[in-house]
Amino acid sequence: MARFLFAATPAAGHVTPALPLVRALIDAGHEVRFTTGREFERAVTRAGAAFTPVPAEVDWSGLTPDERWPERAALTGLRKLQWDIANYFVAPIATHVRHLQGMLAEEPADVLVADPPFGAATALRELGGPPVVHYGISPLGLPSRDLPPFGLGLAPMGGPLGRLRDRALAALVRRTVFAPSVAQVDAQRVALGLPPAGRTALEGDHDVALFLQLSTPGFEYPRTDLPDHVHFVGHPAALPPSTPFAPPSWWPEVTAGDRRVVVVSQGTIATDPAELLRPALSGLAGDGDLLVVAVTGGADPAVLGPLPGNARAASFIPFSELFPHASVVVTNGGYGTIQLALAHGLPMVVAGRTEDKPETTARVAWSGVGVNLRTQTPAASRIRDGVRRVLANPSYAARARELRDELSDGSTPERRAVALMERVLVSSR
């Protein structure tokens, strides 16, 4: 038996992907502790881990970023991105490190497992902490000589001209977008007694023993310099909900199979229904061959207004129940939703431009599994055209099924991840 300590940024998209790994480690006989925001205590303990909350001053779980920091709401574009990097990811590093040091003093751990933006993990390693395992919650953001810099949503060009373009863009982005984070990261390091490193907030994959990318290789751009510690394991199946699924009264329409089901989801952060849900309902209204199922991500479905005759809505439906009956997924590009859709072999129509979504949506188009509308607020007609295009061209669904089956080796993503993490134990002893 080994002791694993998980630490995650207190946000659903950072915590939820780790929970199947927690359950798999416990099923394999290991001990797991988990520290993150208090909002996730129930989910963590249901997965089987012992829970410890992060310090209150760095716990913003249960709040949207704009609720936690009202001044953020007035920012847009580059200024908002830089503000998020500085306040959401960099500023808590020293506090998180001291918190983890306290936990480890009470009970040592053999391995520390964290989401990549949780910068305290590698800082702790430099201070003598345990080996670090990262689990990827977004498209692979490690720099590569074969790719443009992460964040621009650009597909690789290839050839000498492409490499010239990528080098120039990488230098420009580092000097502009991420330059302020160098001093911010170094300030956290100095506060911990570490020397300045001159690295940006995105250059934190140093001294990581293992990187578990929760996807398949076919969804990622090819690169000739992929580090040896990066392994694709596929997307783990979500843990069952805390209460059994209670189907809505209209559920037989979903399972009947006489209409193609279109799932529309905006996730749990960018939840303004005017951005995607309402335009999708409007654009797909009147098509009697389709049953449109809109999932609000927690909000009362009444926020959608009157529904077209071919539409149904719910605040939450487990995708494990819904996706087996779907033909296409319309989403704003959240990485978890896209990977779950691919795990079910479903093609997509995507529309998202915030956070890491330019990279995620660009990969949907590049990999051939769907249509990228390249906007945060698509018109109803564009959504309709995108759905029709995906449904009319079987190559999208065929490619999605190829990615679903790409790692079919008789194992599961969870078992692959556990085997790799156990190898870290062996190599570190």
Q: Give the gyration radius of the chain's Cα atoms.
A: 21
CA 389 to CA 379: how far, in whole Å?
16
Q: CA 8 from chain center: how many Å?
A: 12
Segments in the chain below pLDDT 70: 268-270, 428-429
Q: List, in order of start, the domains of the chain with CATH numbers.
A: 3-237+412-428 (3.40.50.2000), 251-404 (3.40.50.2000)
What b/e sequence results for 142-181 when a residue is b if at least 16 CB atoms lie within 10 Å of its CB, and e otherwise? bbbebbbbbbbbbbbeeeeebbeebeeebeebbeebbebb
Residue for token pair 């989801």: 265
* 425 CB burial (10 A radius; 0-12, 13-18, 19+): middle
Q: Nearest to residue 54, comparing CAs of 111, 1, 11? A: 11
Q: What is the largest CA-CA distance in the chain?
A: 65
The pLDDT value given to residue 356: 87
The pLDDT value given to residue 268: 65
The pLDDT value given to residue 429: 64
